Amino acid sequence: MTSRVGSVGAGRAVAQGAATAQGAPTPGRIRRATGRRPAGVGSLSGIGLVLAGALSVQFGSAVAALLFPRAGALGVVSLRVTLAAVLILAVCRPRLRGYTRGDWAVAGGFGLALGGMNILFYQAIDRIPLGPAVTLEVLGPLLLSVVAARRAASLVWAGLALVGVFLLGQAGFSELNLAGAGFALGAGAMWAAYIVFNSRAGARFPRLDGLAVAMAIAALVSLPLGIASAGSTLLEPGVLLLGLGVALLSSGVPYTLEFLALRRLPAATFAVLMSMAPAIAALAGFLVLGQTLSALQCLAIALVVGASVGAVRTGR
């Protein structure tokens, strides 16, 4: 995300230079200088793209949960990551020569974080509802945001998030399953690592080459676990078809929509919209899986969403 923020900042500098040299900026000038549409219709379409991408990710997770009885959590995550890796490698065709050991170390860390995040998260939603799982998972990026901001106000948002988690506990972590909650928190830690390595890979690899290499590494990590868990079930046509749907919903479609959205929106606005993930996950769990939440759990999710939005706004 840091590399994308840099692109946004560079675009703004170009636009300001064009305005100074040629007079007041017109929509055509802004679009030519920045590659983005001016605020208004473009911003609204960008918001729509982000929300559509978030819906795709969470509904993809809900569809994945439907496959758990047939292929197991490890089998499903291996299908999702492997098929997504094949798709992105076919599209990007990354260059593999000319990189240093440091570059490959970053790509390796990126891949391990990506694979670990997916494996742990699917273990979590195999045990607890989707909404609470994403609520706990988002604490990883939230903590990273608080640490990066280094402001007193960030501690307020962290405290608000902790209140939300405490309320989830009041609803009964035994009801949520302690192992599931632990996997969700582990996925959150991997998500924070994913953000850090994603930023570094974006600075070292052109286009989406770093992501393509990381997806391949994540597939190499997850596929043996999936084969050991599900065996030949992974080759059943119905399972493969649903697995392809999960890969598209959870990876292919969101990555494309987010890429397009970041041409229309400031990175801070994008991050705030992504903070809505727990609420969208709860909606997907209710509509697809029939998972209901108590009023206290809904309040807890709302507090974590609010804390995420506040932390992003404070640290932007």
Mean of the pLDDT values across residues 26-37? 43
Q: What is the mean pLDDT of residues 96-104?
A: 88
Give pLDDT, residue 218. Answer: 93
Residue with tokens 């699917």: 122
pLDDT at position 175 is 62
Residue among 188, 201, 199, 195 nearest 108 (CA): 201
CA distance 74 to 296: 31
What would the mean pLDDT of 158-169 be, rounded to a whole number? 70
Q: Can you give the pLDDT at residue 312?
A: 62
Rounded CA gap, 119 and 111, in Å?
A: 12
Asked if residue 93 lies in contact with residue 241, where contact means CB atoms within 8 angstroms, the answer is no
Going by pLDDT thresholds of 50, 70 and 90, the confidence category of residue 21 is very low
pLDDT, position 221:
93
Of the candidate ranges 15-29, 30-44, 112-126, 231-245, the one whose mean pLDDT is the lowest: 15-29
Domain boundaries, the chain: 42-315
pLDDT, position 223: 93
Question: 238: number of CA atoms within 13 Å, CB side?
Answer: 7
Residue 169 pLDDT = 60
Residue 300's SS3 state is helix
12, pLDDT greater than 50: no
In terms of Cα–Cα distance, which of 258, 252, 247, 293 is closest to 133? 293
pLDDT of residue 270: 66
Residue, of 186 and 177, whose pLDDT is higher: 186
Which position has the higher pLDDT, 16 or 97?
Answer: 97
pLDDT at 233 over 70: yes
Note the pTM of the prediction, 2 decimals.
0.71
- Burial class of residue 290 (count of CB atoms within 10 Å of its CB; 0-12, 13-18, 19+): exposed
CB 234 within 8 A of CB 75: yes
**Span 28-32, average pLDDT:** 42
How do the residues of the chain divide into helix, strand and coil, expressed in percent and rounded to 5? 85, 0, 15
Q: Quick one: CA torsion of 216, 222, 225, 230, rounded to 10 degrees?
A: -90
Residue in 81, 64, 314 with CA at minimum distance from that of residue 219: 81
| Residue recorded with tokens 């206290």 | 296
